[in-house]
Amino acid sequence: MEYQVKAVFLYNFTQFVDWPADAFDKPDAPLVIGILGEDPFEKFLDDVVRGEKAGGHPIVIKRFRDIDSARDCHLLFVGGAEPRRLDTVMSVLKDRMTLTVGDSGEFCKRGGMIDFVTKQGKIHLQINVGTVRAAKLNVSSKLLRLADIVDPGKG
The parts of the chain modelled with pLDDT lower than 50 are 155
* pLDDT of amino acid 140: 95
Q: List residues bridging with 77 in a β-sheet.
A: 35, 101
**How is 8-52 classified by DSSP, letter by letter?**
HHHHHHHHHEE--GGGSSSTTPPEEEEEESS-TTTTHHHHHHTT-
Residue 101, helix vs strand vs coil: strand
* pLDDT of amino acid 155: 45
Say whether domain 2-149 belongs to CATH 3.40.50.
yes
* pLDDT of amino acid 110: 86
